[in-house]
Structure 1
Amino acid sequence: MYYVNKEQIQHRLDAIPQIAQGLTTAAESWDGGVVLGMVQERALHLAIEVVTDVGSYLIDGFIMRDASSYEDIMEINHEEKVFDQEIFDVLLKLVSLRKPLVQDYYSWSRSELHPLTPVLPEILNKFAAQVRDYIQQELVM
């Protein structure tokens, strides 16, 4: 029997609409200024935290193999068919931004719109739907 912390997963998935709104606003209103640069930066960081937190909860709850990195969390979840190839490809690029955003933030280019910013809202919403479907499917079996 699996113990999947559905409550904690749901809390994180519930944050996605606001993160997506921040990303959409940044992309649609991009002016290269510091305010939208900071909005983009924080929204990207939160997106990384959501997908890695959820991925970790799934790994622990469904007793998947241990992850060795943020990229590995995404790979394991993809191998276990939590989400499809389209989502995996984008999330792998997303999690690779964690170090630049969190540790090398002083050199992050806040004046440029990151290519993931306009595509992430849709991907994050698909991620949430596919995670919910996966949990429902696996816990029924």
Structure 2
Amino acid sequence: MVDKELLSRKLSFLQNYVSELKQADDINWEKYTVDPRTRAFVERYLHLAIESVFDIANNLISFHDWREPDSYRDIFVILHENKVIPKETLHSFQEMASFRNILVHRYEKIDDEIVFGVFKKRLVDFELFGSLIKNWAEKQ
């Protein structure tokens, strides 16, 4: 049995970060590339959302004493192995790990097109992750 209160709180953080990004739908490519504060907002909230995903996943892994992940990408393999997420979602979720590494470790060379693309086209991945986790937890 997972700590549903803790999980709910963590899912709420994820939902809030994604909501903030979705509400910023007035940010277009020009505004993103010209305004450093806008870029910082998008990068930071995407980073917070990704860290929330990893926090949720790692809490499940730890709580259930599943095997320890070898990498951030492996976190999603473990969730799949334990029937938390379907195989079809693995690649998309593993891309979050790669994107996180760009934000955290290659911050001096961040590709604006990649970040803007995630901001405009991949927020649905965060929502899907939250939904899958919530549905899985309700069945426990």
Fold shared by both chains (TM-score > 0.5): yes
Which stretches in structure 2 are left out of the alignment for 5+ residues?
Answer: none
Give the conservation status (yes or no) of the 8 Å contact 1:82–1:131: yes
What is the root-mean-square deviation of aligned Cα atoms in Å?
A: 2.2
In the alignment, which residue of structure 2 is the partner of 1:68? 70
Partners of 2:11 and 2:39 in 1: CA distance: 24
Amino acid at match of 2:3: N
In the alignment, which residue of structure 1 is the partner of 2:22? 24
2:56 aligned with 1:58: no
Relative to the length of structure 1, the TM-score reads: 0.80
Relative to the length of structure 2, the TM-score reads: 0.81
Match of 2:102 among 89, 100, 103: 100
Give the conservation status (yes or no) of the 8 Å contact 2:84–2:133: yes
Give the conservation status (yes or no) of the 8 Å contact 2:77–2:90: yes
Match of 1:5 among 3, 6, 9: 3
Partners of 2:74 and 2:134 in 1: CA distance: 21
In the alignment, which residue of structure 2 is the partner of 1:128? 130
State the aligned residue count.
Answer: 136
Give the conservation status (yes or no) of the 8 Å contact 1:27–1:117: no
Does the residue aligned with 2:117 lie in a helix, a strand or coil?
A: coil
Structure with the higher helix share, 1 or 2: 2
Partners of 1:86 and 1:43 in 2: CA distance: 25
Partners of 1:5 and 1:15 in 2: CA distance: 16
Amino acid at match of 1:75: V
Moved over 6 A (4+): none
Which stretches in structure 1 are left out of the alignment for 5+ residues?
Answer: none
